[in-house]
Amino acid sequence: MERPRPSVDNLYGLLMEPVAVAPDRPAVVEADDKGVLHETSYRRLDLLTQEYAAALDGLGLDVGDRVIVEADTSAASVAMLLACSMLGLPFVTVSPQTPDTRLQTIVSAVEPALHARADSLAPRERVEVEGSAHFGPDGLVVERAPARRVRRRRNVLATDTAYIVFTSGSTGRPKGVVMSHRSIVTFLRAMRTDELAGPGDRVAGTSPLQFDFALFGIGVALSSGATLVPVRREDLSSPRRMIGFLRDAEVTQVHGVPSLWRPVLRHDPDLLKELEPLRSVVFAGEEFPIPELRRLQEMLPGVRVVNGYGATESMAASFTDVPDPLPAGLERLSIGYAHAGAEMTLVDGRGAIVTEPGQTGEIYLRSPALFTGYWNDPEATAAVLVPDPADPRHGQKVFKTGDLARLGAQGDLSFVGRSDYQVQIHGNRVELGEIESTLTRLPRVTAAAVTLVPRSGDHVLTAAVVLDGPGDIDTRAALAFCAQQLPAYMVPRSIHTLAELPLTVNGKVDRALLTEKLASPRRTSDLRHATNA
Ligand code: ADP
């Protein structure tokens, strides 16, 4: 049968729209091994995509067959994702740093037809996938062809799966989030309506390709006719390299998790003044500690800082400008209102919609850009894709996010924390985030994380703080401050000074690892040692 064709609302179609209007505009600007910048025009990116698609088509895969794409973000990997989209082959992105065991778990779950890796990567001897190939600027080279399928499909539909992203597990055990073309295309059109980026932008992506924040950067840049500027991992290794690269690539918008900015703010904040063309910074993935955010704003005067809130299950839910300057005494950042075409509703513990300003509830997201479900996990899917609490009779499903927020006077929301950061201590309900925000009001503290650590048959509140320079926190003074500000049951039992909070592969605070380390004091000193290195 002939090659399956993308019909309406396909990721390839949306991202390659600029080919018709501005084919010579740079789609991707990236550094080679020697750090020299190279441009790939929209026309060239499309040609590479067509070339990969022809090679993939030659394998005789059917719509819906999964392809693992192992790479960093580059013109070639973007073309590979687009070629998969065009043929209706859901892509599953994996970073080169992914350990074999994690990759094997993903492979066992999604049973891919093909593992396509970037040219520069060695084959994974220990991971078994039916087909294997590598790709780069010279094309796709098939090493082991998968068995040919019977093709049952002619058209790639908007409801077909575009990709499956496995979450890092900061929100529970890793889940395979299945996104359709319709959802991702609808989401990216909303970004255009909200004017997050425009054709003149050069958008730097800093997240690993397995994190949907990287897909967000690719999607926002190309669907806006802008230029994507992937930042290589080695260029993130030191503040000087990172800022040097962003400056030389004349980046106007940077995407990254809050921890992206921590080293430069700590060691060399003046470097930030070199980012002359920078207009906006979009952060997402977790809360930005307020002292660090203030510092970033001071060092980047006039730069718009945008708080992107959301989960992989809808790519993102809202984008809110951080007020500049941040009001004194601010405890919680606003996550504002949902992006164009979506809505966030707060629901209280009894299932009623929160309408009183000042009250807290769980965020339910109503959006045409929701995920289809968790891969092969109908139970987990049903637990979060639930009937609309406003009126379940419509049969419409909304996404129960697991995040708590407070309703503002104008209907805007302030992020409070995940519902699983709400713990019970001797019968009292405690928000770990509230203790963390109290700790960040102490002088010299730039970031804090609080966890419940098992100790002698009980669980005790244990805090970790990061300071603005060398030295340890004055624990006695810090505990006295907490005792003044918080009820006694919310005062941490102990406070540890760390050089850095442990991070997940996606750059978020790794609370599970932190709890493990704080549970054993010897390992806490290991951690300090390791993160000082
Ligand atoms: P994982 O972290 O497991 O890979 P996700 O990236 O989907 O999974 O994590 C989504 C969660 O991250 C949200 O539900 C929320 O708790 C948190 N989050 C994302 N953006 C923000 C933000 N701007 N402020 C606070 N929390 C955020």
Give residue 308 CA to ligand 1 midpoint distance, Å.
Answer: 9
pLDDT digits (tens, 9 = 90+) for 368-383: 999 999 999 999 999 9
Is the C-beta atom of 311 inside 6 A of ligand 1? yes
Average pLDDT over residues 33-52: 97
Torsion angle of alpha carbons 96, 98, 103, 104, nearest 10°?
A: 120
Q: Check whether 533 has a pLDDT greater than 60.
A: no
| 135 vs 168, higher pLDDT | 135
Predicted confidence at residue 70, as pLDDT, reads 98
pLDDT digits (tens, 9 = 90+) for 289-345: 999 999 999 999 999 999 999 999 999 999 999 999 999 989 899 999 999 999 999
Predicted confidence at residue 2, as pLDDT, reads 82
Q: Check whether 522 has a pLDDT greater than 80.
A: no
Measured CA to CA in angstroms, residue 194 lies from 76, 188, 341 at distances of 29, 10, 10
Q: Check whether 495 has a pLDDT greater than 90.
A: yes
Give the residue whose CA is nearest to atom 2 of ligand 1: 170
Ligand 1 atom with minimal separation from the 170 CA: 3
pLDDT digits (tens, 9 = 90+) for 343-369: 999 999 999 999 999 999 999 999 999
Q: Which residues of 387-401 are buried (b: 16+ CB within 10 A; e: fewer)?
A: eebeeeeeeebbbbb
Is the C-beta atom of 215 inside 6 A of ligand 1? no
Amino acid at 429: R
Take residue 23 and report the two structure tokens written for it.
């084919």
Q: How far is CA 226 from the centre of its chain?
A: 20
- How deeply is 278 buried, as exposed, middle or buried, from its count of CB atoms within 10 A (0-12, 13-18, 19+)? buried
pLDDT digits (tens, 9 = 90+) for 146-166: 999 999 999 999 999 999 999
User: Of 66-70, 73-77, 214-218, 416-420, which range is least confident?
Assistant: 416-420
**Whole-angstrom distance, CA of residue 369 vs CA of residue 314:** 6
Q: Check whether 529 has a pLDDT greater than 50.
A: no
Predicted confidence at residue 521, as pLDDT, reads 63
Q: How confident is the model at residue 513 (pLDDT cuts 50, 70, 90)?
A: very high
Predicted confidence at residue 170, as pLDDT, reads 74
Give residue 38 CA to ligand 1 midpoint distance, Å.
Answer: 33
Is the C-beta atom of 307 inside 6 A of ligand 1? yes
Cis peptide before 325 (omega within 30 of 0): yes
- Do the Cβ atoms of 129 and 68 come closer than 8 Å? yes
The residue among 312, 310, 330 whose CA lies nearest residue 408 is 330
Q: Which residues of 443-469 are buried (b: 16+ CB within 10 A; e: fewer)?
A: eebbbbbbbbbeeeeebbbbbbbbbee
Predicted confidence at residue 245, as pLDDT, reads 98
- Do the Cβ atoms of 291 and 269 come closer than 8 Å? no
**Whole-angstrom distance, CA of residue 272 vs CA of residue 240:** 10
Is the C-beta atom of 308 inside 6 A of ligand 1? yes
- Do the Cβ atoms of 506 and 208 come closer than 8 Å? yes
| 528 vs 316, higher pLDDT | 316
Is the C-beta atom of 10 inside 6 A of ligand 1? no
Give residue 115 CA to ligand 1 midpoint distance, Å.
Answer: 28
Give residue 156 CA to ligand 1 midpoint distance, Å.
Answer: 30
CB atoms within 10 A of CB 108: 10
Give residue 170 CA to ligand 1 midpoint distance, Å.
Answer: 8
CB atoms within 10 A of CB 503: 17
Average pLDDT over residues 5-15: 95
Predicted confidence at residue 458, as pLDDT, reads 85
Q: How confident is the model at residue 526 (pLDDT cuts 50, 70, 90)?
A: very low
Is the C-beta atom of 169 inside 6 A of ligand 1? yes
Q: How confident is the model at residue 528 (pLDDT cuts 50, 70, 90)?
A: very low
Q: How confident is the model at residue 168 (pLDDT cuts 50, 70, 90)?
A: confident
Predicted confidence at residue 174, as pLDDT, reads 81
Predicted confidence at residue 530, as pLDDT, reads 34
Query: Whole-prediction pTM value?
Result: 0.94
Tally of CA atoms within 13 A in the half-sphere of 522 that contains its CB? 0
CB atoms within 10 A of CB 277: 14
- Do the Cβ atoms of 67 and 163 come closer than 8 Å? no
Q: How far is CA 502 from the centre of its chain?
A: 17
Is the C-beta atom of 134 inside 6 A of ligand 1? no
Average pLDDT over residues 249-269: 96
- Do the Cβ atoms of 181 and 63 come closer than 8 Å? no
**For 352, which DSSP code?**
P
**For 419, which DSSP code?**
G
Residue of 207, 216, 309 to test ligand 1 pocket, by largest number of atoms within 8 Å of CB = 309
Q: Check whether 524 has a pLDDT greater than 80.
A: no
Q: How confident is the model at residue 459 (pLDDT cuts 50, 70, 90)?
A: confident
Average pLDDT, the chain: 94
Give residue 171 CA to ligand 1 midpoint distance, Å.
Answer: 7
Predicted confidence at residue 532, as pLDDT, reads 28
Average pLDDT over residues 77-98: 97
Q: How confident is the model at residue 531 (pLDDT cuts 50, 70, 90)?
A: very low
Q: Which residue has tokens 């390299």?
A: 241
Q: Which residue has tokens 């909200």?
A: 194
**Whole-angstrom distance, CA of residue 317 vs CA of residue 355:** 20
Give residue 232 CA to ligand 1 midpoint distance, Å.
Answer: 23
Average pLDDT over residues 414-418: 93
Domains of the chain by start residue, with CATH: 5-150+161-170+180-308 (3.40.50.12780), 338-420 (2.30.38.10), 423-532 (3.30.300.30)
- How deeply is 247 buried, as exposed, middle or buried, from its count of CB atoms within 10 A (0-12, 13-18, 19+)? middle
Phi-psi region of 88 (alpha: psi -120 to 50; beta: other; left: phi over 0): left
Torsion angle of alpha carbons 159, 160, 162, 165, nearest 10°?
A: 90
- Do the Cβ atoms of 48 and 77 come closer than 8 Å? no
- DSSP per-residue letters across 247-293: HHTT-SEEEE-GGGSHHHHHH-GGGGGG-TT--EEEEESSPPPHHHH
Q: Check whether 6 has a pLDDT greater than 70.
A: yes
- Residues with Cβ within 8 Å of residue 344, at least 6 apart in sequence: 317, 318, 335, 337, 338, 363, 364, 365, 366, 405, 413
CB atoms within 10 A of CB 516: 15
